Structures are given as structure tokens and as C-alpha cells.
Amino acid sequence: MSHYIAITEAERAEMLQSIGISDVAELFAGVPESLRFPHVELPAPLSEIELRRILTALSNKNANASTHSIFLGAGAYNHFVPSAVDQILRRSEFYTAYTPYQPEISQGTLQAIFEYQSLICRLTGMEVANASHYDGGTALAEAALMAVASSRNRRKVVVAPSVGPQYRAVLRTYTQGSDLQIVGDERPDATLDDVLALVDNTTAALVVQNPDFFGTLHDLKPLAERVHAAGALLVAHVDPIALGLFQTPGEADVDIATAEGQPLGVGLSFGGPYLGIFTCKSKYVRKMPGRLAGATLDIDGKIGYVLTLQAREQHIRREQATSNICTNQGLMALAAAVYLSLMGRQGLRKVAELCYHRSHYAAQEIAKVPGYSLIDQGAFFREFVVRTPRPVAEINAALRDRGIIGGYDLSNDYPHLGNAMLLCVTEMNSKAEIDDLVQALAQI
Amino acid sequence: MSNIPADLQYTGSHEWIRIEGEQATVGITDFAQAQLGDVVYVELPEVGASFDSGANFGVIESVKAASDLYLPVAGEIIEVNSNLDQNPDLVNSDPYGDGWLVKIRVAQGIGALMSAEAYSKLIAESDH
């Protein structure tokens, strides 16, 4: 018997006896003989000490945020995760809780979701937030589908090329096989004005990102006006940290706003789990996908929390539901709620200010290094584009040798920029780290 | 016992229709509202929209279900019951009166409609 499996031989024998068989092998009688118990080459079992040694060695092959300076963003950001987040997440009541189908026994989970939704509404200035999606990309794809469902049979979605390439790919994954047209990003160098010109009375939505993939900040208000004039909806993918300082989608009259919530106390975690933030105007709430926690009163007049407006969802509406999502990213939503509660409005603003100022300092210093130049991108937040003298892959390899993880190589997705890197600076990058980066670039 | 006014006509999908010349009023039956439970929302079409006989013209939502609404005859929507926005419960309390859903201009002829008697038989069979 393995010491990892908590059952004794005696217990096993007892269980077998109570169901009337003598050997576990008899349970597989329904599997064709030739397929039973195939020979599998597995190494011998390891003790916990040996196991730990091997896994630690594997893990040490990774370069990570605690061993390297990170200047890579492009959708996943190295922001600070306060210890309190983990302390609360690891409470087994939250860690092991399942979807709250029965409100009577899920008040803790439901209240946590409700608080998360409320905080997200405050952060984005939007009227309604749902219980979350898997990540920013799927949230954005669902937003586009919701805009189509809310339109009167409009089948075109216009998307700006400055929306992240991975997000646009996810959008196309979601719409493949349908008759929806996704247009606007055929030319990677198209501007927002070029893309706006495609919005007409067959357009369900214009999809933009703010700050965009390059870190550039945009005023979404005039965009919203022009999109609404064509009878279409404005879908904006925003950044939660930037919202500590800059224009919220609510202020800009955006119809559906999504975001990647990873910067809010979730950490990098090698790509996931992340957090899909989803909000909209209340007039569209009945077409909104996902779970929705609501507050109500029980028969004694006490506050209780429930999943509400369930008639939108697939288990009731079936093929006419806007979406087939029937879950949320509960634990990560809790992390975001804890983070936002800890930081508060002032704290979040401080984080945003640090990101803003440090990224501008870095940009200014890098521009002084021969061979490196900035593009004319206007106001930016946390990320910016740098033209490099040699291919980004070479530069990043050299930086890795110096314990620095460099920026995102833009040459594949945006070839018109030539050799160019998307550099990210957060509150986790000290001035000393930035100076080291600049020095390294000068030396390479 | 379900209320089934004799002066109305009915569909197999539990809508009623009151035809007055070229116009008609449409709603759902007492049986339907009882089956649905408390109505929380009614999604109604825009005035001016046209539908074929039997076409889906809206959705009625209760706490536990969302049911499609089918137009008993072909027609053009000339009025929708905007009171249902604030008071969807009118469908439950007065399905044949204040709980009406839409008024239409009837397009052509009369579709396959049931009399009160035929409808009464239908729901008796399904009511086990």
C-alpha cells in the first residue's frame, strides 16, 4: 500500500466484502479483456524526500519573478501580491468550495462573489458586473457575442489591431463556424480612425483595448459617440491597474467592458489561472453571460445572497442562451476582491502612479541608448514600444544571461514596426533594476 | 380550474387571441401563467415588427423558466404593453385583461386557432 493513499488493506477488504466481490480486478469485468491492465512503464515509487528533490530540481530550471527582473507584460503582469491574499484564499471553505447551486449552504461563497462584483462596478464605473469568466480573452470574446445577441441581427464585429493578438485569436476561435464577420485587423498598422470607418449599420460592435496592446492610452468618449451614432455597441477591454488613475469605461459610455483581472492579486503563475472581468450597462443585463450573484431578503427579512437572473443561462435558456458558460473563476475573483479591499482607492492609485512614472523613466533612459528609439505613441501606461538595433530574440537572450527577462517581441504580430520590443515596467521594478536594464542594453 | 374565456381563441402553445376586425390582442392563458410561476420579465418586440403565423415574437421569463411566445396569426405589431416593464406580475394576476402582451394588425386570414372548448380539452390532457 502506498503511503500517499489513505486506506488500509483491512478497510479495502471490508469494502470489497460489502459489495460482494473478492478482488478489485473484478470491478473491471466490463472492460474488454484485451484492454484490461495494459503494461505501463512507470519508474519505481519515490519517497517524499526523493520526490521533493526531483521536483525542486525541475522547478529551479524556471526563470521567475523572484530570481529575475521582469520587463515582460503583453497581457500578464508582474504586480505585487500581498501575503494576505493567499492567507484568505487558502481557507478550505473557499479553496474547496464548489459552484454555489444551493444558496442555503453557500452564503460565504455567494457573498464573496457579490462583494467582488460590487468592487468591480466601483472600479470600472459600470452598472453591472458578473461573477467572472476564465480570463480576459474569453471575457472579451463573450462580450463580442453578447453585443451581437443584443443587436437586431447585425452580423459584423469590427476589431482594432491594437487589441492584443492573443485576444483577437480567442475571439476568432469563439466565432469560427458562425456567419459572423470579424473585420478591422487585416492590416496590423491600421489606426483607430481607419477602423472606425468600417463601423456601419451592419456592425454589432466595435472592439477596442484601452490601454491598447502597446500601452497607449485613448479617450474612449468620442469613440463611443461615433459608434452609437451607427447604432452599434462599444466593447472595451480595459486594465484594472490603469483604472486606478485613468478614464473608466463607465465615464466613457462604453456598453460592455471586460478586463484581465490577473494584475489584481493573482500573480503570474506561468499563465494561469487568471480572471475574466465582465461588466455592462444594466439595460443589457438580460443578455449578459455568466453567473450573477445578487442580494435579497429571506423570510425573516435578513440579507441573503443568491445566483440571480438564471433564466439567461444555458441550463434554462438552452440553445437560446447568450453563452454556454456555467461557471466562474471563484478563487481568483476572491483574490481580486481581497487585493482591492487591501489596496483601497488610494493604494490602487499609488500602484498606478508607480507604474506610470517608472515606465516613463525607463522609456526616457532607453531612448538615450544608441540604436534604441521610441515610437510616437502618445500617452502610455506601464508599457511602451522600443525600436531595437537588432532582432529582439537576440537581445532577450543576452538579457537572460544577465538575469533580466526582456520585453515582448512585436515583429511577428506587427511586422511594420521592424525590430521592436514591447517593454513593461511595474511597481515591482525598482529604479536600480531599470538602470541595470538600460546599462545591459547599452553593453549588449 | 383554469380560466378559459369562451369568447377568445387559443393556440397549442398557450397563447390567446382576441380578434376585433383587422386588429387583434394577444396574451398567454391562465394555464400558462400558472405553469410559469411568478413572471419577472417580458421581452416584447418593437412596434412595426412583422411576424408570420406561429413565429417567435418574444420571450416571457419567470424565476424558473424562459418561454418563447408565438404569434397565433401573421401580423404587424402596432402596440406593446409597456406596463409589463414595471409590473410583469400583471400577466399572472390578469392574463386576459391588463396582462395582455401585444396588439397587432392581422396580416392575412385566420390561422389554425382553437376554440375555448378545444383548448380546454388540450390542457386537461396535459394536466396529469
> What sign for the dihedral angle of Cα B117, B119, B125, B128?
negative
Q: Using N-to-C axis directions, what is the helix angle for A107-124 and A330-366, rounded to 10°?
A: 30
Helix (H) or strand (E) holding A226, with range, is helix A220-229
Write down the residue that cell numbers 453585443 correspond to: A147
pLDDT of amino acid A66? 86
Query: What is the SS3 assignment for A280-316?
Result: ECHHHHHHCCCCCEEEEECCCCCEEEEECCHHHCHHH
Q: Which three cell numbers stand for residue A443?
A: 553593453
With a CB cutoff of 8 Å and minimum separation 6, the contacts of B51 are B45, B57, B71, B74, B75, B76, B77
Shortest alpha-carbon distance between residue B23 and chain A (Å): 26
B121 in any annotated domain: no
B12 in any annotated domain: no
Chain B residues closer than 8 Å to A312 by CB:
66
Q: How far apart are CA A120 and CA A240, in angstroms?
A: 9
**Would you tell me which CATH number, out of the four given (2.60.40.1930, 3.40.50.300, 3.90.1150.10, 3.30.565.10), belongs to the domain A69-79+344-443?**
3.90.1150.10
pLDDT of amino acid B110? 62
Chain A residues closer than 8 Å to B88 by CB:
none
Shortest alpha-carbon distance between residue A316 and chain B (Å): 6
pLDDT of amino acid A203? 98
pLDDT of amino acid A153? 87
CA distances from A355 to A93, A243, A352, A408 (A): 35, 12, 5, 17
pLDDT of amino acid A309? 86
Shortest alpha-carbon distance between residue B67 and chain A (Å): 8
Average pLDDT, chain A: 95
At A351, is the secondary structure helix, strand, or coil? helix
With a CB cutoff of 8 Å and minimum separation 6, the contacts of B65 are A311, A316, B36, B37
**A80 touches A427 (CB < 8 A):** yes
Which of B63, B67, B70, B77 is most worth mutating to test chain A (most A CB atoms within 10 A of its CB)? B63
Could you tell me which of A244, A230, A236, A228 has the C-alpha nearest to residue A381?
Answer: A244
Phi, psi of B57 (to 5 degrees): -110, -5
* CATH number of the domain where residue B75 is located: 2.40.50.100
Chain B residues closer than 8 Å to A320 by CB:
66, 68
B5 in any annotated domain: no
Could you tell me which of A72, A25, A84 has the C-alpha nearest to residue A344?
Answer: A84
Tell me the pLDDT band of B63, cut-offs 50, 70 and 90: confident
pLDDT of amino acid B109? 61
At CB < 8 Å, which residues of chain A contact B?
286, 311-312, 316-317, 320
Q: Which residue numbers in chain A have pLDDT < 50? A: none
- Per-residue pLDDT tens for A206-219? 999 999 999 999 99
Q: Which residue is closest to A321 within chain B, CA to CA?
A: B66
With a CB cutoff of 8 Å and minimum separation 6, the contacts of A121 are A127, A128, A129, A279
Q: How far apart are CA A436 and CA A406, in angstroms?
A: 12
Amino acid at A160: A
**From A286, A316, A320, residue closest to B41, measured CB to CB:** A286
Inter-chain touch A316–B65, beta carbons under 8 Å: yes
Chain B residues closer than 8 Å to A317 by CB:
66
The DSSP code for A155 is -
Q: Is B43 touching A (CB cutoff 8 A)?
A: yes
Inter-chain touch B40–A317, beta carbons under 8 Å: no
At A168, is the secondary structure helix, strand, or coil? helix
With a CB cutoff of 8 Å and minimum separation 6, the contacts of B12 are B114, B122
Q: How far apart are CA B43 and CA B25, in angstroms?
A: 17
Q: How large a percentage of chain B has pLDDT more than 70?
A: 95
Could you tell me which of A121, A130, A131, A103 has the C-alpha nearest to residue A303?
Answer: A103
pLDDT of amino acid A169? 98
**A380 touches A216 (CB < 8 A):** yes
pLDDT of amino acid A147? 97
Q: Which CATH code fits A83-338?
A: 3.40.640.10
Phi, psi of A145 (to 5 degrees): -65, -40
Q: Is B85 touching A (CB cutoff 8 A)?
A: no
CA distances from A368 to A1, A264, A349, A364, A372 (A): 66, 33, 29, 7, 7
B123 in any annotated domain: no
Q: Distance of alpha carbon B5 from its chain centroid, rounded?
A: 13
Q: How large a percentage of chain A has pLDDT more than 70?
A: 99
Provide the domain count of chain B: 1
Helix, strand, coil shares of chain B, percent, nearest 5, are 20, 35, 45
- Per-residue pLDDT tens for B9-62? 999 999 999 999 899 999 999 999 999 999 999 999 999 999 999 999 999 999
Q: Which three cell numbers stand for residue A39?
A: 503494461
Average pLDDT, chain B: 91
pLDDT of amino acid A359? 98
Q: How many CB pairs under 8 A join A and B?
A: 18
pLDDT of amino acid A65? 87
Q: A389 — alpha (psi -120 to 50), left (phi > 0) or beta?
A: alpha
Q: How far apart are CA A145 and CA A164, in angstroms?
A: 18
**From A286, A311, A320, residue closest to B65, measured CB to CB:** A311
A237 forms beta bridges with A209, A258
Q: Which residue is closest to B49 within chain A, CA to CA?
A: A152
Inter-chain touch B64–A317, beta carbons under 8 Å: no
Residue B95 burial by Cβ neighbours in a 10 Å radius (0-12, 13-18, 19+): buried
Inter-chain touch A311–B64, beta carbons under 8 Å: yes
Q: How far apart are CA A32 and CA B19, in angstroms?
A: 66
Give the domain extent around B80: 21-114
What is the residue extent of each domain of chain A?
A: 69-79+344-443, 83-338
Same topology for domains A69-79+344-443 and A83-338, yes or no? no
- Per-residue pLDDT tens for A409-423? 999 999 999 999 999
Q: Helical H runs in A127-200?
A: 136-150, 165-175, 192-196
Q: Is B49 touching A (CB cutoff 8 A)?
A: no
Helix (H) or strand (E) holding A333, with range, is helix A330-366
A296 forms beta bridges with A304
pLDDT of amino acid A212? 97
Phi, psi of A8 (to 5 degrees): -90, 165
Q: How far apart are CA A355 and CA A73, in angstroms?
A: 12
Q: Is B47 touching A (CB cutoff 8 A)?
A: no
Could you tell me which of B126, B99, B81 has the C-alpha nearest to residue B16?
Answer: B99
Shortest alpha-carbon distance between residue A307 and chain B (Å): 11
B13 in any annotated domain: no
The number of CA neighbours under 13 Å toward the Cβ of A394 is 8
Q: In this predicted complex, what is the ipTM?
A: 0.75
Shortest alpha-carbon distance between residue B47 and chain A (Å): 14
pLDDT of amino acid A2? 64
DSSP code string of A23-61: -GGGGGTTS-GGGSS-----PPP--HHHHHHHHHHHHTT
DSSP code string of A203-221: EEEEEEEES-TT-B---HH
Residue A349 burial by Cβ neighbours in a 10 Å radius (0-12, 13-18, 19+): middle
Inter-chain touch A316–B62, beta carbons under 8 Å: no
